[in-house]
Chain A
């Protein structure tokens, strides 16, 4: 039976492992990770259409970049207008 100290060390290791991957993949832009998952689902749902699938995924990527940049500039715009 592992001691409490060992379990704590394992738990700490597991938490750091997931924190590392969360920081690595999501970073400070959860909207990008979420947006990409949505694009993936849309591409899967429309995969049967030769026109809709490529067109919608490209448009969604463009919308996502624009939204991500716009969102990051929001604080500065709010500050300037107050």
Chain B
């Protein structure tokens, strides 16, 4: 029988990782095309190695040394904060109060900046390309790591960490393959819809685990996750519709 929690976990981690991978890919492409691929790849690979070490060390340490209830409080609180941040921004973008996240625009700005900068050549390495790529992959990857570790450990089973890591790797591999084929920023990715979806899922899991951590008895046990998902999803739809109308009326007033 398919574990409903594991499926939701896989989808959440994969979607969140795909969004972050799209952003990291934009930085890598801008750096690789303007400064050269070798140093860009070296920076990205070093960042990936650092991220793998963080997952291994932090994951193992948390499993063995932190009690499950404490883990759920910390993980739930972090996920709830992340989820609400993603959700708020996605609603603001969806209703027109915030400009959409335009990968093409970000890419063009990065290319313009990187073309002007001089960078220091050490041997065969372009320090600027290396640093930009390393920093971009590490920062975008940190959010994925937080999600992988949180989802992997909150159920108190080491197997879930593997599922979460696998979901992240699969999403990153798919986005990288698409990026390698098209060799330009992935502007067609429906990033805001993905952020709305992931924001919903992170909020639901965050609230559920945070509640469990402090001792809240959710009715129906794990099945209540689906009830929570429906509540948050309906609230998102309602808020989006309401604030879209507000935005339209403000635009009319301004004209």
Which residues of A line the B interface, CB within 8 A? 24-25, 27, 29, 32-33, 35-37, 39-40, 43-44, 46-48, 50, 53-54, 57-58, 61-62, 64-66, 68-69, 72-73, 76-77, 79-81
Q: Which residue of B lies closest to A57 (CB)?
A: B211
Question: Is the CB–CB distance between A73 and B92 below 8 Å?
Answer: yes
Residues from chain B with a CB closer than 8 A to the CB of A27 are 85
In angstroms, Cα B238 to Cα A69, docked, is 12
Question: Is the CB–CB distance between B243 and A24 below 8 Å?
Answer: no
Residues from chain B with a CB closer than 8 A to the CB of A43 are 210-211, 214, 216
In angstroms, Cα B92 to Cα A4, docked, is 47
Residues from chain B with a CB closer than 8 A to the CB of A58 are 207, 228, 231
Residues from chain A with a CB closer than 8 A to the CB of B243 are 69, 73
A40 touches which one: B91, B214, B219 (CB < 8 A)? Answer: B214
- How many chain B residues sit at the interface, stated as a range, is 35 or more
Question: Is the CB–CB distance between B211 and A33 below 8 Å?
Answer: no
Known: A40-B73, A65-B239, A69-B243. A32 touches B88 (CB 8 A): yes
Number of inter-chain CB pairs below 8 Å: 101
Q: Which residue of A lies closest to B252 (CB)?
A: A80
Question: Is the CB–CB distance between B80 and A44 below 8 Å?
Answer: no
Question: Is the CB–CB distance between A54 and B211 below 8 Å?
Answer: yes
A47, A69, A77 — most chain B CB neighbours (10 Å): A69
Contact with A along B131-154 (1 / 0, CB 8 A): 000000000001100000000000
Question: Is the CB–CB distance between B78 and A25 below 8 Å?
Answer: yes
Known: A57-B211, A58-B228. A76 touches B239 (CB 8 A): no
Give the interface SS of chain A, mostly helix, strand, loop or mixed: helix
Residues from chain A with a CB closer than 8 A to the CB of B80 are 36, 39, 61
Shortest beta-carbon contacts, A-B, top 3: A47-B215, A80-B250, A44-B214
Question: Is the CB–CB distance between A65 and B97 below 8 Å?
Answer: no
Question: Is the CB–CB distance between B84 and A64 below 8 Å?
Answer: yes
A54 touches which one: B87, B219, B232, B239 (CB < 8 A)? Answer: B219
Q: Which residue of B lies closest to A33 (CB)?
A: B81
In angstroms, Cα B78 to Cα A48, docked, is 23
Question: Is the CB–CB distance between A50 and B250 below 8 Å?
Answer: no
Known: A53-B216, A65-B239. A80 touches B254 (CB 8 A): yes
Question: Is the CB–CB distance between B88 and A61 below 8 Å?
Answer: no
A30 to chain B, nearest CB (A): 11
A25, A48, A61 — most chain B CB neighbours (10 Å): A61
Question: Is the CB–CB distance between A40 and B77 below 8 Å?
Answer: yes
